[in-house]
Amino acid sequence: MQYSINKLNSLVNNKIMSEHKEKIVTILRNAISGHKKWVENALGLIQGLPLDKSQVPVNGTECAFGEWYYSDGQSLRDLPGFKEIESLHDKLHAKYREIFVLLFGETEKISFLGKLFGQAKKLEHAKKEEAMEKYKELKYYSEKIIKQITKLEKFIHVMSDDQLEKYLN
């Protein structure tokens, strides 16, 4: 069987595009994985685990997901649903900022007698309970982000290589 040069070029280009599509899907899955790790670290911080600040950055452009989203991820910005991820990601980090300030912001002064009667421990416990309530909201935004990325992944899977190429150019 003999192929024309055009047919061979088409086969090579389709293979390259299909590989490109798989690479994009892998990147999206890695983005989800990195995001989930960040959420786990946020919970660990609330639970008192010793974590470096770099493991749970407050700023949305400094977490692994945000670094990808605002750099290489922008090549997907024209795909349906991509832009919605940004507002969810912003809300997630705003909620995390609330948690961070609650746990590590200004500490209230407790009198000597208050310390003697366990006031500090009660206050610390109350802060952790409030932080866990805020974490539930953070988790809600996280789940929405993951759903949106999963939709994007499915959309990419059903697209033809030609359609995807139009979005990426």
Tens digit of each residue's pLDDT (9 = 90 or more) over 132-167: 999 999 999 999 999 999 999 999 988 888 888 887
Please give the model's pTM, rounded to 2 decimal places. Answer: 0.77
Half-sphere exposure of 166 (CA within 13 A, CB side): 4
Higher pLDDT, 5 or 143: 143
CA distances from 89 to 33, 60, 75, 80, 120 (A): 15, 7, 18, 16, 34
At 39-88, the pLDDT tens digits run 998 899 888 888 776 777 788 888 888 888 999 889 889 988 899 999 99
At 99-133, the pLDDT tens digits run 988 888 854 454 444 555 555 577 788 899 999 99
